[in-house]
């Protein structure tokens, strides 16, 4: 289970390698290397905050389900899903600037399952989003239990982190290209 949570947090851009404040940069991923990667465009409007646009990374975990960060769809102050939530998801494409229409999916608040959470811990920062139709791409392979899974999630094991994040600390926006970087896994504590 730890690898699943760590992997999800990494994909959502929440994990920080030892000695670093954030994961920034990396290199452009080869096209097709991560077919289960999902770009999640988030749009909502709130009387307090006005209109908001943002984005997160997610993982296709079933033909109609994407796992993403709960903070992308949840207002932690109220404990509710973001008001007037609209999601546009792009799956199976490395560059999301002008994705083919067949790779674009839609969802709203009724399609979001917010998983149990403790806002003081980003380790439980997960939400599942149901796509408006099945995706043909294969879901992310998630290891089971046992020695192989434990060894793959041991602190110090090198893991690849992917996402459409910022390329440097002063970047005005995110990369349109899916990026990747290798980092060592760190202990939960």
DSSP secondary structure letter of residue 27: E
d(CA 10, CA 183): 10
DSSP secondary structure letter of residue 29: P
Q: What is the pLDDT, as a whole number, of residue 20? A: 41
The candidate with the shortest Cα–Cα distance to 126, out of 61, 51, 46, is 61
CA distances from 161 to 7, 21, 82, 87, 178 (A): 8, 15, 27, 23, 10
d(CA 9, CA 163): 11
Helix (H) or strand (E) holding 140: none
Q: Which residues contact 184 (CB under 8 A, 6 or more apart)?
A: 17, 18, 155, 156, 157, 158, 159
Q: What is the pLDDT, as a whole number, of residue 4? A: 35
Q: What is the pLDDT, as a whole number, of residue 145? A: 59
d(CA 176, CA 13): 15
CA distances from 143 to 42, 56, 89 (A): 29, 23, 25
d(CA 177, CA 165): 9
DSSP secondary structure letter of residue 139: P
The candidate with the shortest Cα–Cα distance to 6, out of 152, 111, 168, 176, is 152
Kindly give the confidence (pLDDT) of every residue in the chain, 189 residues in length, as a single tens digit, with 9 standing for 90 and above. Answer: 333 333 433 333 333 333 344 567 889 999 999 999 999 999 888 777 677 788 899 999 999 999 999 888 987 777 788 888 999 999 999 999 999 999 999 999 999 998 776 655 556 788 999 999 999 999 998 777 566 677 677 888 888 889 998 877 888 888 899 999 998 888 876
């Amino acid at each position: 289970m730890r690898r699943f949570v760590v992997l999800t947090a990494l994909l959502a851009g929440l994990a920080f390698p030892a000695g670093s404040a954030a994961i920034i940069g990396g290199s452009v991923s080869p096209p097709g290397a991560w077919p289960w990667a999902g770009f999640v465009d988030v749009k909502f409007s709130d009387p307090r905050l006005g209109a908001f646009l943002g984005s997160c990374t997610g993982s296709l975990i079933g033909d109609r389900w994407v796992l993403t960060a709960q903070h992308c769809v949840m207002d932690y102050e109220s404990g509710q899903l973001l008001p007037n939530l609209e999601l546009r998801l792009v799956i199976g494409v490395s560059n999301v600037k002008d994705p083919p229409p067949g790779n674009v999916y839609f969802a709203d608040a009724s399609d979001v399952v917010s998983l149990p959470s403790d806002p003081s811990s980003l380790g439980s920062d997960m939400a599942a989003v149901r796509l408006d139709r099945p995706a043909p791409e294969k879901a992310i392979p998630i290891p089971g239990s046992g020695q192989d899974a434990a060894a793959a999630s041991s602190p110090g094991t090198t893991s690849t982190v992917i996402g459409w994040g910022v390329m440097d600390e002063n970047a005005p926006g995110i990369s349109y290209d899916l990026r990747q970087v290798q980092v060592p896994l760190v202990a939960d504590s």
